[in-house]
Amino acid sequence: MSITDTREIIMATARKMVQTRGYNGLSFRELAKEVGIKSASIHYHFPTKGDLGAALARRYTEDGMAYLNGLRAESDDLGTWMKGYTDIFRAALLNDNRMCLCGIMAAEFDDLPPEVRVEVDAFTDLNVQWLSGVLDACRPQLSAEEQTRQAMAIYAAIEGAQLVARGRDDISVFDATVQAYQSAGLLPG
Amino acid sequence: MSITDTREIIMATARKMVQTRGYNGLSFRELAKEVGIKSASIHYHFPTKGDLGAALARRYTEDGMAYLNGLRAESDDLGTWMKGYTDIFRAALLNDNRMCLCGIMAAEFDDLPPEVRVEVDAFTDLNVQWLSGVLDACRPQLSAEEQTRQAMAIYAAIEGAQLVARGRDDISVFDATVQAYQSAGLLPG
DNA sequence: ACCTGAACACCGTTCAAGT
DNA sequence: ACCTGAACACCGTTCAAGT
């Protein structure tokens, strides 16, 4: 086992925990037990909880953007793009009623150390940027400001749909809500 | 000071703390310090943290519904109703970037004791019910199911707008997002 | 390079004891 | 009726010590 392996196992395990219980709900002792080391050893890889949280958010953003950019590269269909987008959030709910890592952390805003806040912000920015790109492809007549505003609204609405559906532990709430967004024309396609 | 007074002070103080830091972020010791008693004394009024959380959510729901029902009684104007509705969430952000008590708790779903979950669910139900009533007044041609679905979508979208705006600590994000919802026709009026 | 046990100040909770 | 101090098992963090 090299350095990287243990570090990766810690991150994968912690990511699941945060998506389920939140940043505050993440316990170093519980995490260590699951990984099979002592809690003090976690601090060797991530000096503070904030370091771990920031690393998790950064990786989560990287993975998400790789998926989304692949989606745009592989298809020219607006419907495929938007279904691919909403499916990220749907998949989290399907996966043990988990939440978007940065969505759940946004709710804990006041408890987050600055280095984590920065990464949560970056996730939001990149989501809005990607959605703006999609809007530019399908609604080029809109100004850049209007595209950004609509992209922000789409992102916020999807996060809200996930939050509420999760609170009900009912994925059909998510599906029905996304469909209502589509009917209203909030989502393109 | 009667029983009720201390109890009320505890609830008012705890409510602010939960709207800022969440259920997990609420500390009995910190709460006690602010109230001016010892943490063990909190347990006299609320045996467990779950009891306190449930009482907070129930009171929050009661207060909100009293406001919303007053709104519908005092005016016949759809715009006034919807502005009154979104203003609840806007006011929380204006008040030290706080969140809807039940919105922040919904994100902590997995950490909530059952008695708190029940109250968070009730809040959602009553919001959807109130919004359905508004939709029935302005879009009577819709089926009850469709009204409920749209009401759920409105509630989820507003919660999401608050969540994202709070993460940015920027109320203009909330305002722009709500306006985008209105332009799309997701919000009536 | 990586891990550990022990200590620190925190946490919710319990309970016998005070008034 | 209401409050308290002390104890319990938890928490993140630090650090000297191990290999």
Please state the pTM of the whole predicted model. Answer: 0.96
Chain B hits for A132, CB-CB cut-off 8 Å, are none
Residues of chain A with pLDDT under 50: 1-3
Cα–Cα nearest to A98, from A155, A161, A166, A160: A166
Tell which strand C nucleotides have any atom below 7 Å from a protein Cβ: 1-6, 10-16
B167 → closest Cβ in A24, A106, A177: A106
Average pLDDT, chain A: 95
What CA–CA distance (Å, rounded) separates A179 from A187? Answer: 9
What distance lies between CA B133 and its chain's CA centroid? 18
What CA–CA distance (Å, rounded) separates B112 from A112? Answer: 20
Confidence of residue B4 (pLDDT cuts 50, 70, 90): low
Q: Is the dihedral of CA B166, B171, B177, B181 positive or negative?
A: positive
User: Which two tokens mark B23?
Assistant: 């259920």
Q: What percent of chain B has pLDDT over 70?
A: 98
User: CB–CB of A107 and B22 under 8 A?
Assistant: yes
Q: Is the dihedral of CA A161, A162, A166, A170 positive or negative?
A: positive
Give the type of residue at A89. Answer: F
Predicted pLDDT of residue A4: 59
Predicted pLDDT of residue B189: 81
Instruction: Please classify residue A78 by burial: count the beta carbons closer than 10 Å to its beta carbon, then call 0-12 exposed, 13-18 middle and 19+ buried.
Output: middle
Phi/psi for A42 (5° steps) reads -60, -40
Predicted pLDDT of residue A189: 81
Chain A hits for B165, CB-CB cut-off 8 Å, are 156
Predicted pLDDT of residue A3: 40
Mean local confidence (pLDDT), B110-121:
94
Please write the tens of the pLDDT for every residue from B127-147: 999 999 999 999 999 999 999
User: CB–CB of A163 and B121 under 8 A?
Assistant: no
Mean local confidence (pLDDT), B6-32:
96
